[in-house]
Structure 1
Amino acid sequence: MNAKLKKLTTAAVIVMSTFVLAACGSSKSSKNYTTTGNSSGAYQGVIKNGHYKTSKARGVNVSQNDNQYNLKSFENGLTEVSKLVFSPKSYIFQEGQYLNTSTVESWLGRKTKSNPNGLNPAQGKKSDPNPEYIQQIEEQDYMTENGNSMKLKGIVIGIGINSEYNYKKKTDGPSYTKKISDAEVQRQGKIAAAKVLKRMRKNSKIGNVPIVIALYKQAPDDSLVGGSFFAYSKNRGNSISSWHKLNYKTMVLPKASATNSTTSANQTDSDSFSNFKSQIQSFFPNLSGVTAQAQYKNGQLNGMHITVTTQFYSQSEITSFTQYIARAAKKYLPNGIPIDIRIQSDSEMQAIVYRDSGSDTFRTHVLTSY
């Protein structure tokens, strides 16, 4: 059995972005719970007994996942898929409570005599192993108020499928990579989805609420962006009803050159970012890098994550630079979409500039060290 599993523990970071669950605003009180309050386009979250209700299987994934962008875009993208079925205006978000750590670890393992529930195939020959297809599983629960308590109204399950599989024929030998075709990614994802749905329905606590299963194609380990969701299915019964195609894509900006897949809109976005990059580099030349991840939905730009890596540490420089970036972002970057800009050194995050969806105002926050 090749159960290369681990749990990822992430440090608490201030992230002011509209792509993640907002935990701000006025709280909504109830006898048994409170919520995190409303925020622009985001879900309210559940607070019970004074504590945010975390997932029972937080951060479990197959250990070969070396691309941290996959982890971030998987979670954020799953929330965006959820909004297609469960509107933030009507539903309250709760992290998964029905899949625990041991269950998810078992499902992400290979299928063996000791682990019959493994969604990945038996290894086969070590010199030519079967790929581990299923990489990540995450559950999100959607609730409504029911008197003084919450009632489960729907579940969303995200399944991440590898686009390549890395392995070694010998423990200390070289690494090899097997590419997994798009057709096989889709096939393996749908096979896993059918099994997961049947298993979820066996839990009597879930009842007949709709279960949405969304499929995500992992980006390769050396990719500078994460993968994307490509299909979802909303199901009332214990078998998959039908699949809905998702047209999501993530690109790195600026693009080195135009490609066959680059549309005029993509090129315009890339040019806008290039102008922004040139402007801030001319203002502060001591920068290690300026890159962006641009998210597209149905061919239209849906948001940007920008990272600016600095070489200076003076607090006054960081403050001035942050203020300048906010002005340059408003002038050069596309309007009407959520954007967050992380300013960081190689060792620490220094500041963040962000704009909510539909807003024309960039806000700033400088992290002060004492």
Structure 2
Amino acid sequence: MKKCIILLLGALLILTSCSPKFDEKEVVKKEDENKSEKTSIVPSYQLSDEMYRTILPYRPSAARGVIVNQMGNRLDIDEMSEGLRRHSKKYYDPDKYFFEEGQYLGKDMMYKWLERELTEKQIKEAVDQKMKVYKNSQNPSAEKAKQHRKQVEKEVRHVSSMALNPPIKDENSEKQQRNNPKYLSHVLEQNYLVKKEDNSVELKGMSIGIAMKSVYSFQTEVGGPSYYEEIGKDVMLKKGKKIAQTVLKRIRKMEGLKNIPILIAIYREEGQNSPVPGDYVAKTAVKGGDSKINEWEKIKEDYVLFPSDFAQENHFDDKQLIDDFAADVAEYFPNYVGVIGKGFYIKNELQKLTLEIPIEFYGKGEVIGFTQYTYGLVKEMFPDYYDLEIKIKSNKRLESFIYREAGSNKPEVHILH
């Protein structure tokens, strides 16, 4: 327990390095789904100018859990949420807006959206199956069965029309699966609220993330082998823009959302076992009242793994710097086994570099000595125009970490006990 507390305190020191704002605790009023007014609390502090305050009690997303079931890479799950919040700051100022998880796109709705549309044959089969169950349980008259069938078919067609992934005639056909992959993984909603003069809060902005696959994984039989089909970026983007337009029209029909400004961004996932997450590739800001997307803005972001062929070809200078750093470490510490790096780039400019150094330690003195030596290399070798985080790990746990904010020449050091 003591170790966990120390680790959490160390993380908190990093988060609060931008001097948190301490204000008087605000109590606000918010209407729930049933139009009844409830008292909520805005936290009395803001961790930094870059972070949104969240209204309490915290309300989880109406589609909570769906993203975990649909996206296979934990890094993608985190980056999709954090990245959408990062892009939202340009449109919803953290000083003026409060953050809340999405409350309009519910779990049942989301699962329907993520399904495949049905073919006419599949619709008939679904109706026949439902009617078989109905007749066995109710034994209706011919006229009553006819009327019920019309109702069932109407419901099946409605559910099919909600699906945003393409239909497929035969799911057991590898060729058809490859030609008609499921492109869409998830639709993420975030809400942004402002406080009114009567001390209540209201929705004033929404952000929608459209998660698209880069690799489609499928099986043609239960328990059979898994197949993989890569989805080109151009195809993915074309399909994503079409899906985004459909999602916008559906949102505009929901109560209270007709005149809300909406940021929509398309996220391209990485493969399931990728050591780095995917990234947002395009976004558009839709004014309140608009139901049509006119223009998309290209987003140039990349998460880059070091070492990798991509880093070698596209970020050679940064790759060489990390290699030199690794060589300096290896010269003095025989138990060192390598450096794994992850760089975040915007328009090919490095914004944050995270390095993980796995090493075998035989005592706390080695941890302290290694951390001191690494601290010196940070001061001497790494430019200060990006955030830098170095995690020093044994085979059991995180032993220490060094953090330096962009523009600072004094890295923070934390040795865990």
In the other structure, the counterpart of 2:181 is: 131
Shift of 1:288: 4.5
Shift of 1:175: 1.9
Superposition pairs of residues 258-277 of structure 1, within 5 angstroms? 261-262=313-314, 266-277=315-326
The structure that is helix-richer by fraction is 2
Of the two structures, which has the highest relative contact order with CA contacts closer than 8 Å and spacing of 6 or more? 1
Residue 258 to residue 362, structure 1, CA distance change in 2 (3 Å) = closer
Shift of 1:199: 1.9
Residue 344 to residue 28, structure 1, CA distance change in 2 (3 Å) = farther
Residue 37 to residue 341, structure 1, CA distance change in 2 (3 Å) = farther
Indicate yes or no: 2:102 matched with 1:96.
yes
In the other structure, the counterpart of 2:123 is: none
Superposition pairs of residues 313-324 of structure 1, within 5 angstroms? 314-324=363-373
Indicate yes or no: 2:81 matched with 1:75.
yes
Indicate yes or no: 2:42 matched with 1:46.
no
Partner SS, residue 295 of structure 2? coil
Superposition pairs of residues 36-185 of structure 1, within 5 angstroms? 37-48=45-56, 51-61=57-67, 63=69, 65-112=71-118, 113=156, 114=159, 116-125=161-170, 126-128=172-174, 129=177, 130-147=180-197, 148-185=199-236
In the other structure, the counterpart of 1:332 is: 381
1:239 maps to which of 250, 274, 292: 292
1:212 maps to which of 245, 256, 263: 263
Shift of 1:336: 2.1
Contact preservation (8 Å) 2:79, 2:278: yes
Q: Which amino acid letter does the alignment assign opposite residue 43 of structure 1? A: M
More displaced stretch, 207-216 vs 163-172: 163-172
Structure ID, larger Rg:
2
Q: 1 CA distance for matches of 2:301 and 2:58?
A: 30
In the other structure, the counterpart of 2:414 is: 365
In the other structure, the counterpart of 1:250 is: 303
In the other structure, the counterpart of 1:5 is: none
Residue 78 to residue 279, structure 1, CA distance change in 2 (3 Å) = farther
The structure that is strand-richer by fraction is 1
Map Cα deviations across residues 185-242 of structure 1 (whole Å, 9 max, x no partner): 0011112111211222222233412101000111122433211111101112122132
Map Cα deviations across residues 148-174 of structure 1 (whole Å, 9 max, x no partner): 233322111111111111112232322
- Long gaps (5+) in structure 1: 1-11
Q: 2 CA distance for matches of 1:229 and 1:200?
A: 21
TM, length-normalised to structure 2: 0.74
In the other structure, the counterpart of 2:278 is: 227
Contact preservation (8 Å) 1:216, 1:228: yes
More displaced stretch, 113-122 vs 199-208: 113-122
Residue 138 to residue 28, structure 1, CA distance change in 2 (3 Å) = farther
Count of aligned positions: 351
Shift of 1:293: 1.3
Q: 1 CA distance for matches of 2:262 and 2:226?
A: 38
Contact preservation (8 Å) 1:40, 1:357: no
Map Cα deviations across residues 283-309 of structure 1 (whole Å, 9 max, x no partner): 444344421111111121121232233
More displaced stretch, 207-216 vs 110-119: 110-119
- Long gaps (5+) in structure 2: 29-40, 119-155
Contact preservation (8 Å) 2:46, 2:53: no
TM, length-normalised to structure 1: 0.82
In the other structure, the counterpart of 1:193 is: 244
Residue 143 to residue 257, structure 1, CA distance change in 2 (3 Å) = closer
Residue 150 to residue 341, structure 1, CA distance change in 2 (3 Å) = farther
Shift of 1:334: 2.8
Q: Which amino acid letter does the alignment assign opposite residue 208 of structure 1? A: N
